[in-house]
Amino acid sequence: MSNLFLDLLEKRDYLVADGAMGTSLFKRGLQTGDAPELWNVDHQDRVESVHQEYVDAGSDIILTNSFGCNEHRLKLHNAQDRTYELNKAAAERARKVADAADRPVVVAGSMGPTGEILEPVGALSMADAAKAFAEQARGLKDGGADVLWIETMSSREESQAAVEGASTVGLPIVTTMTFDTAGKTMMGVSPQDAYTHLSGLEVKPAAIGANCGLGATESVISLCDMTDIVPEGAWIVAKANCGIPQYKDGKFEFTGTPELMADYARMARDAGARIIGGCCGSDGAVVKAIADALKDYTPGGKPSQDEIIAKLGALTNMPAGGAHGHGGGGDEEGGRKRRRRRG
């Protein structure tokens, strides 16, 4: 049986992903502390309007509103018994919009961290984590997802449990990790270590990469580190935040612009990424800028760190040289994402 996502990987040189779900839902009335996953049932039209915004902007892939839709996160809202229902509804919202598009659009079932620390450091066992991810995956598949998109992971253990759980439903899998702590994940995993770990799992993801983090500069440097060891032709994902957040006039705003993210998209392509979108702070205007920048673009050589900084701006807290010495080739929403979801 054919799969739209895998078919596009065969036919296309690159794909455009979407932007942030959280940013877009806040603009549509979501309040701090609310569970965005409940909106898949309570405010279906608003969730669908986010997906439509990204399809109109040029996204080939739209991620479901299900980042925190696992039983451990839903417990915070006393909705843990609705895991299957809410994931199925999330996929149905995206599927409706994708099916109405005038071109193929992939529905990716977003799966974020549990928010728990896994053994041996924490209390959550691999088996229990995998079980939670499997239940989420079941709902996403039944709602019409083409691929399961595991994102914003920090530890080897949780990313492995997520892949294990997701693999139970037979859909392709994408896995991205977040390099936001001096060039590594919060749990100390470097970009190269992440690729080695993920590509060596029993079920290898169809695409691997980086999302969220600190902004475009750090994201491209992390990609350069990762692609130093990536085989030619591999599908690498880049989904960076739109700049960094700043508190202004009572709310958080991201410093990035569509123009900056257009430059980021081309540099990410130069670095080896083939699926490119935005994360926290990215809206339809950002995605359109990314799509326009990549259209008819011929990737160049891998940029140096100096070239990346000159084009995209100074480093925030990554050490010079990147996580692996690559030199030649915290806001409300971002904090919320690290705690529970894709911004």
Q: Tens of pLDDT along 263-297? A: 999 999 999 999 999 999 999 999 999 999 999 99
Amino acid identity, position 318: M
Range of the domain at 304: 4-339
User: What pLDDT is stored for residue 331 in this prediction?
Assistant: 33
Annotated binding site: 212, 279-280
Rounded to whole angstroms, how far apart are CA atoms 63 and 145? 9
User: What pLDDT is stored for residue 224 in this prediction?
Assistant: 97
Q: Tens of pLDDT along 121-158? A: 899 999 999 999 999 999 999 999 999 999 999 999 99
Q: Are 184 and 323 in contact (CB under 8 A)?
A: yes
User: What pLDDT is stored for residue 234 in this prediction?
Assistant: 97
User: What pLDDT is stored for residue 317 in this prediction?
Assistant: 63
- CATH number of the domain that residue 193 is part of: 3.20.20.330
Amino acid identity, position 316: T
Provide the percentage of residues in the chain whose pLDDT is more than 70.
92
User: What pLDDT is stored for residue 202 in this prediction?
Assistant: 96
Instruction: Categorize the per-residue pLDDT at 319 as very low, low, confident or very high, splitting at 50, 70 and 90.
Output: low
What's the rounded mean pLDDT across residues 61-73?
98
Annotated binding site for Zn(2+): 212, 279-280
What's the rounded mean pLDDT across residues 298-304?
96
The pair of structure tokens assigned to 218 is 């750090």
Q: Three-state SS for 215?
A: coil
Instruction: Categorize the per-residue pLDDT at 1 as very low, low, confident or very high, splitting at 50, 70 and 90.
Output: confident
Strand pairing category for 236-240 and 147-153: unpaired
Rounded to whole angstroms, how far apart are CA atoms 60 and 98? 9
* Domain count along the chain: 1
What's the rounded mean pLDDT across residues 45-72?
98
